Amino acid sequence: MTTIKGPAIFLAQFMGEVAPFNDLKSICQWAKSLGFVGVQIPSWDSRCIDLQRAAESKTYADEIKGLVNECGLEITELSTHLQGQLVAVHPAYDAMFDGFAPESVRGNSKARTAWAIQQLKYAAKASANLGLNAHATFSGALLWHTVYPWPQRPAGLVETGFKELANRWLPILNEFDAQGVDLCYEIHPGEDLHDGVSYEMFLEATGNHQRACLLYDPSHFVLQCLDYLSYIDHYHERIKMFHVKDAEFNPTGKQGVYGGYQSWINRAGRFRSLGDGQVDFKSIFSKLAAYDYKGWAVMEWECAIKHPEDGAREGAIFIQDHIIRVTDKAFDDFAGTGANEQLNRSILGLS
């Protein structure tokens, strides 16, 4: 078994226009002051990193890594959640997702897709240059508008959708393989990879690609009423990243999983700061430790109620308190009788 690394923090939700949240060095110093030892970096935020430059210049990548290290932190992973979303976008969502892309490709879905794919390829090389072995992203979605089967889905629609999704991702996955980095999809509503079954369909479509791995975030499973503990039993070999994010689901006589088009604060299912929701993190950390998860525990803050700075301060302590320093001995070693083949055969009645 391996002791999980952490606590770490995903910087995306904390970046802002005011110090200490407006550049990489100052936000790293802030994170360190709270007790974090790692940072996950959003690659779309130029205040944190120039992704293309990190891919093309090992010297620049070393400078970014050195800056973070000087603050007493490690880079856990890079994230391309926004770019990954744009690898596959149904036209119904074009207008809403165009803002994720640079102005030069907005209004041109083919150019936007090509830009997103190139971004992911840069991320593979940048991750390797930074000495990282895992990367976070979204899958995008061609089928999400059909998630509820009404009107009836035409025969073969889902298969066609996953075939196209795999065709778009295979060149990216191959680049990550060439760089020795696992590409970890955050299984998430709004993505075609939103639960275990859809992930398995994608795996099959990619020929069970060895780099098509998972970012485990239990908060999204609470909101889907999915068993997030047995999920680990099914997919632990593919789980290479871990977002520590809490959530709660409180259905009423008026709304449930779909939330009635309400804002986050008024939904039956909503994200919460660590310790304020319903996720059983003691069991999660135990399972991941038992399955020898070798990655980081990274706090992602998306609470609908609490101030983010309070969530971060409390989150560092919460994660640290849940990380299990794994044992290198059995509790009953004191009663051991040593190894003796003759004794073993005698106990079994074989001698």
CATH code at 145? 3.20.20.150
| Separation of alpha carbons 294 and 148, rounded Å | 36
Average pLDDT over residues 100-112: 97
Backbone dihedral angles phi then psi of residue 319, each to the nearest 5 degrees: -65, -45
CB of 297 closer than 8 Å to CB of 239: no
Binned at pLDDT 50, 70 and 90, residue 331 comes out as confident
Query: Tell me, what's the pLDDT at 341?
Result: 87
The three-state secondary structure class of 301 is coil
pLDDT grade, residue 351 (50/70/90)?
confident
To the nearest whole percent, how much of the chain has pLDDT over 90?
94
Distance CA 343, CA 95 (A): 74
In whole angstroms, how far apart are CA 200 and each of 167, 171, 177, 310? 16, 19, 19, 38
Q: Is the pLDDT of residue 334 over 90?
A: no
Residue 9: the pLDDT is: 98
Q: What is the DSSP string of 58-76?
A: HHHHHHHHHHHHHTT-EEE
pLDDT at 209: 98
pLDDT at 193 over 90: yes
Dihedral angle sign, alpha carbons of residues 324, 325, 328, 334:
negative
Concatenating the DSSP letter of every residue in 219-242 gives HHHHTTT--HHHHHHHHTTTEEEE
- Confidence class for position 339, pLDDT limits 50, 70, 90: confident
Distance CA 212, CA 236 (A): 13
For tokens 């604060």, the residue is 265
**DSSP letter string over 164-185?**
HHHHHHHHHHHHHHHHT-EEEE
Domains contained in the chain, number: 1
Q: What is the mean pLDDT of residues 126-142?
A: 98
- Mean pLDDT on 249-263: 97
Cα distances (Å, whole numbers) of residue 121 to 75, 173, 298: 19, 9, 23
Domain with 91, as residue range(s), is 5-347
Quote the pLDDT of residue 157: 98
Looking at per-residue pLDDT, the higher value among 6 and 333 belongs to 6
Contact criterion met (CB below 8 Å) for 295 and 2: no
Q: Is it the case that residue 317 has pLDDT exceeding 90?
A: yes
- HSE, side-chain direction, 13 A CA sphere, residue 204: 11
Sign of the four-CA dihedral 30, 33, 35, 36? positive
55: helix, strand or coil? helix
Q: What is the enclosing helix (H) or strand (E) of 86?
A: none
Mean pLDDT of the chain: 97
Q: What would the pLDDT profile of 170-186 be if each residue is shown by its tens digit?
A: 999 999 999 999 999 99
Distances, alpha carbon 94 to alpha carbons 140, 181, 247, in Å: 12, 30, 29
340 pLDDT higher than 90: no
Summarised one tens digit per residue, pLDDT across range 68-87 is 999 999 999 999 999 999 99
pLDDT in tens, 259-298: 999 999 999 999 999 999 999 999 999 999 999 999 999 9
